[in-house]
Structure formats: structure tokens, C-alpha cells
Structure 1
């Protein structure tokens, strides 16, 4: 699919689902990996992940487009356009957009926790991916002193 075809598709979804025209630019971005799309508040343009289109097809990308159009139309109407706003959540539910996009397979791997902070008083554990200074923190449960432990990770 080309950018021109995407532009027409976004305009059609905007008229059919929102009853309002989309008057700005929509284009694919091949560098988007962790997100399905972006809405730019200054220019009102929308970018859609080319990888999501190639991987998941039109059905998933249509939900992403509806999500970005919710940001677009609510922002132009000066209503709550952010993810946490009730207006955004309500409109997204009405049009059938997705709240989150599906993660791309194999593109992101979660590192295991390498460290663990343990409270000396109550034994509460706090897993950490990065090494932290336990003197800067106290237990959130009992305000006791914390100790840092390194976990054994295979292959390191």
C-alpha cells in the first residue's frame, strides 16, 4: 500500500466512523516499531507503522487508524484527546479502535531482572533491571532499610 492509498483510506475511515473529514496528511513510517501510529499535535499529521501493516494486515491497522483519528478529532474540537481522558476512551469505544496495538513478534525482548532489593525488616522484595544504590531508598511498606542482591543470570 502506498502513502496515497493510506491517505484515502484514512479519509474514508474518518468520514464513515467519525462523520468528519480528515484534512491533513497520513503516511507510513518504516521506523515505528514499538507503536502502531502517531498523531502530531502541531501539524495534525498522522503516521502509521509500515511494519504493523505488513505483519498484521488491514484489520489491525484500521483499529490503529481509528485510535489516531480519535486523538486528531478530539484535539481539533478542544476536548480531552489524551489516553487518560474520558472523552478519548468513550470515542475510542464508540468507533471500535484499539487501545493498544499488538507488539511486533521478535522485535523486543524483555530482559530478566538482574538485581533485587530486599527489605531488612519485613522481607519485601523489589526486582530491578538496573543496579541501584539501596542507601537512596527505603521500603515502601515499612520504611525499613534495603539491601541489594545480584541475581545469577545464565550466559553472563
Structure 2
């Protein structure tokens, strides 16, 4: 789908479901990773994630456009446009827009296990797990003031 087609689709959805014109731009933003789209408060433009069209199809993209148009029209009218606002939730229900989009399969597979560093005290045997490596010559056990020894990295690929 080209951006000109996306613009026409957004204008059509705005007229059909909201009865109002969409006077700004709707564009694809390939830098969006985990969200289906976003409404920009400063420019009033809508950015959409192209991967939702590729993975879930046109219907999912239409749902995301409806969702972003809810933000758009409520913001321009000066009403509550945020997810927590009652007017936003009511408008979502009226037009049949989803509150949240379906997660992308590619994003779910890319979640990494965070690496952890495991240390043990040579005096009392207490284990410590940290996100970052520490300088064992500068730090000591908080229980007995004994020396720390690096054991292993947990969660490495």
C-alpha cells in the first residue's frame, strides 16, 4: 500500500465512521516497533506501522486507523483524547475501534533474556545477582565483609 492510498483510506474512514474530515497527513513510520500507530499532538498527523498491514492484513490496519482517528477528533474538539478518558472509551465503542492492537509475531520472538552476573562470598557463601559486572576488588559482602568471587553469567545466549 502506498502512502497516497493510506491517506485516501484514512480520509474515507474519517468521513464514514466519524462524519468529519481528516485534514492532516497519515503516513507509514517504519521506525515504530511495538505499536500499531500514533497520533502526533503537535502536527495532528497520524503515523502507522506498516508491519501490521503485512502481518495481520487490511482489517487490523483499519482498526488502528479508527483508534488513532479517535485521538485526532477528540483532541481537535478539546475533549478527553487519552486512553483513560471516558469520552475516548465511548468513541472507541461507537466506531468499533480496538483499544489495543494485536501484538506482532516478530516482536514477540525478539524479546531477549537479560543477562545477570552471579557472585558468591568466599566467607559466608552468600550469593548475589547483579545486572552489571562489578569490580570485586572494590566491593565486599554486605553480610560478613568477605571477598566476592564472580561465579557465572546467567541468561547468556
Fold shared, TM-score > 0.5 on shorter chain: yes
Question: Does the Cα contact within 8 Å between 1:79 and 1:87 map onto a contact in 2?
Answer: yes
8 Å Cα contact 2:6-2:26 kept in structure 1: yes
The range that moved more, 59-68 or 93-102, is 93-102
Question: TM-score w.r.t. structure 1 length?
Answer: 0.71
Instruction: Report the equivalent of 1:43.
Output: 43
Aligned residues: 126
Aligned counterparts of 1:110 and 1:28: Cα–Cα separation in 2: 24
* Residues 52 and 61, structure 1, Cα contact 8 Å, conserved in 2: yes
**Over 6 Å off, 4+ runs:** none
Q: 1:58 and 1:77 mapped to 2: Cα distance?
A: 28
* Correspondence 1:12-51 to 2 at 5 A: 12-51=12-51
Query: Shift of the alpha carbon at 1:112?
Result: 5.4
Aligned to 2:106: 106
Deviation at 1:32, TM superposition (A): 1.1
Contact 1:7–1:26 (CA under 8 A) maintained in structure 2: yes
Provide, for residues 50-74 of structure 1, a one-character-per-residue CA deviation record: whole Å limited to 9, x for no partner.
Answer: 1111111110000000000000000
Query: Do 1:32 and 1:51's aligned partners in 2 also have CA atoms closer than 8 Å?
Result: no
CA change 1:111–1:130 in 2 (3 A) is farther
Higher mean Cα deviation, 103-112 or 30-39?
103-112
Gaps of 5+ in 1: 116-128, 132-151
Shift of 1:110: 4.3
CA 1:83–1:7: 2 relative to 1, 3 Å: same
Question: Aligned ranges for residues 5-154 of structure 1 at < 5 Å?
Answer: 5-107=5-107, 109-111=110-112, 153=154
